[in-house]
Amino acid sequence: MTTEIHFGTSGWRAVMADEFTFANVRRAVTGIARYVVSQKASGARVIVGRDPRFLGETFCSMADEILTAHGITPLLIAEPAPTPAISYAVIREKADGAINFTASHNPPEYNGIKFSTPDGAPALPEVTKRIEAEIAASDADNGKPKPPGKTVTAQALEPRSAYLARLREIIDFKAIQKAKLRVVFDPFWGAARGYSDSLLREAGVDVSTVHDCRDVLFGGHAPEPDDHLLEGCREQMRATKAHIGIATDGDADRFGIVDADGTFFTPNYIVALLFDYLVDSRGWKNGVAKSVATTNLINAVAKHHGIELHETPVGFKYIGELIKQDKIAIGGEESAGLSIRHHVPEKDGVLAGLLCCEMVAQRGKSLSQQLQELFAEVGSFYSLRENFHLTPEVKEKFTGKLQREPRDLMGRKITEVVRTDGLKLLFADGSWVCYRLSGTEPVVRVYSEARSKEDLEKLSAAAKQWIFE
């Protein structure tokens, strides 16, 4: 039975030696090659990159072979590279797209393929559907490409220098150095090794790095810069009395931030704080974007500054479109993705961490202090994300419930129902719940937000009860 290759919000991912096999990688890359040729019959150039996962070099070589067979010139990146660096290279090189072998923050047994379009953004659904159709068509043709018009050979590409030069233009490294900030950087054995810390060190900033070697097992867990996996960063922060810890995931599109006292700062708060900081420091007031599952603290900050808010479905590609159109100063998601105006339309974890360093340096206050000041200005917000596994029977019943128009949630009167992505229920006091069914596993993701910690606990309990009642 042929595996169905489906590109989700961040490409195609699967377990290696199960579905992510050499044969299926060939099918996926062939589908991409056929799509690129359909858009540009001759002279196409596609960047090929990877994170440090097992067999990454081999997959890049396979892509080289397939692309050249279709008359597409591969621009091969020799070393692991962050996803945002590859995105920037697509724009700078005027390439016709990029194939990036990465499973991002997924566990080490996974690998994946991200496809970026010529604008450097993650492929939108209309593009990935075309690629999936090309995979099916190629399967019917036994995968044989049409003979290209002329022979092409791969070219080498080094994206690091240009990307670091771009970050030097964005970040005020002099301010970070002047504030004598002490920083710990944790690349989680991933693609950002030698990026954030190199820039800080070059600027004379006191920076320590942990997990700074290639490990295809990522320490035996997912390369995800989340609270429970950042103890190595915290230990080094305690040892160096650091003011901030910054971390990136396997392909450096996501970020994790630790305050001076060891407190993990959720992406919800980081996006809101950086939004407020960019308005203050850059004077950008052209808009802000957030996914439907991201904190309404951003709504409150937007209202406070008189700035237009855009609420998108989950998936950074939708925010990327607004960045391309220069409609927003910053866009972010609660899943630790953000980018800013005049930068790549792709999540950039390296940028996020460095911007946080600049913000702490310029304001001379810890993240906790800044958040309390923001709460004092616009009100407090507390959020939570939970995953609940569903039996087939419960999933069927709950899926039907999601189609209806509920009037209350376990006694709480609903004031508005939003269906931008999943089912979002808003209440009169500003609290809300959002339900999103996973497309790959029997799981419902539940996002809850309330104006106090006590009410969040009650709201979360009600949200869970509603699933299983």
Answer whether residue 299 shows pLDDT above 90: yes
Residues with Cβ within 8 Å of residue 118, at least 6 apart in sequence: 90, 94, 95, 96, 97
Answer whether residue 10 shows pLDDT above 90: no
Sheet with 412-418: strands ordered across = 382-389, 443-450, 432-437, 423-427, 412-418, 408-409
Longest dimension (CA), the chain: 68
Answer whether residue 143 shows pLDDT above 70: no
Pairing, β 432-437 against β 443-450: antiparallel
Q: What is the pTM of this model?
A: 0.95
What is the Cβ-side half-sphere exposure of residue 69, based on CA atoms within 13 angstroms?
Answer: 17
Q: How far apart are CA 162 and CA 57, in angstroms?
A: 22
CB 290 within 8 A of CB 315: no
What are the CA-CA distances from residue 307 to residues 35, 302, 339, 397 (Å)? 39, 5, 17, 41
The pLDDT, as a whole number, for residue 149 is 66
What are the CA-CA distances from residue 337 to residues 136, 249, 365, 380 (Å)? 32, 11, 24, 22
Answer whether residue 413 shows pLDDT above 90: yes
Q: Which token pair is 35?
A: 């799509």
User: Following DSSP, what letter does each residue of 414-468 receive, concatenated?
Assistant: EEEEE-SSSEEEEETTS-EEEEEE-SSSSEEEEEEEESSHHHHHHHHHHHHHHHH
When mean pLDDT is compared across 35-44, 67-76, 143-152, 255-264, the lowest value belongs to: 143-152
Share of the chain above pLDDT 90, in %: 92
- Mean pLDDT across the stretch 73-91? 98
Residues with Cβ within 8 Å of residue 123, at least 6 apart in sequence: 7, 11, 115, 116, 117, 131, 317
SS3 label, residue 413: strand
Q: What pLDDT, in 10s, does the model give residues 121-134?
A: 999 899 999 999 99
Q: How far apart are CA 220 and CA 114, in angstroms?
A: 23
Answer whether residue 294 shows pLDDT above 70: yes
Q: How far apart are CA 449 and CA 437, in angstroms?
A: 18
Q: Considering just the CA atoms, what is the radius of gyration of the chain in Å?
A: 22
Is residue 1 very low, low, confident or very high in pLDDT (cuts 50, 70, 90)?
A: low
- End-to-end distance of the chain based on CA atoms, in angstroms? 38
Q: What pLDDT, in 10s, does the model give residues 362-380?
A: 999 999 999 999 999 999 9
Q: How far apart are CA 289 and CA 69, in angstroms?
A: 41
- Mean pLDDT across the stretch 286-299? 97
When mean pLDDT is compared across 21-35, 54-68, 291-305, 436-450, the lowest value belongs to: 436-450
Q: What pLDDT, in 10s, does the model give residues 204-245?
A: 999 999 999 999 999 999 999 999 999 999 999 999 999 999
When mean pLDDT is compared across 143-147, 278-282, 290-294, the lowest value belongs to: 143-147
**CATH architecture for residues 179-378:** 3-Layer(aba) Sandwich (3.40)
User: The tokens 């080289």 sit on which residue?
Assistant: 64
* Residue 334 phi, psi dihedral angles, 5° rounding: -65, -15
What residue segments make up the domains of the chain, in order of their start? 12-159, 179-378, 382-468
Amino acid code (one letter) for 15: V
Q: What is 12-159's CATH number?
A: 3.40.120.10
Share of the chain above pLDDT 70, in %: 98
What are the CA-CA distances from residue 443 to residues 49, 438, 467 (Å)? 31, 5, 11
- Mean pLDDT across the stretch 38-66? 97
Q: Does domain 382-468 have CATH number 3.90.1150.10?
A: no
The pLDDT, as a whole number, for residue 3 is 86
Answer whether residue 6 shows pLDDT above 70: yes
The pLDDT, as a whole number, for residue 324 is 95
CATH topology agreement for domains 12-159 and 179-378: yes
Answer whether residue 283 shows pLDDT above 80: yes
Q: Which token pair is 274?
A: 């950086």
DSSP letter (8 states) at residue 184: E
User: The tokens 């939003």 sit on which residue?
Assistant: 418
CB 447 within 8 A of CB 434: yes
Q: How far apart are CA 297 and CA 255, in angstroms?
A: 19
Q: What pLDDT, in 10s, does the model give residues 315-345?
A: 898 999 999 999 999 999 999 999 999 999 9
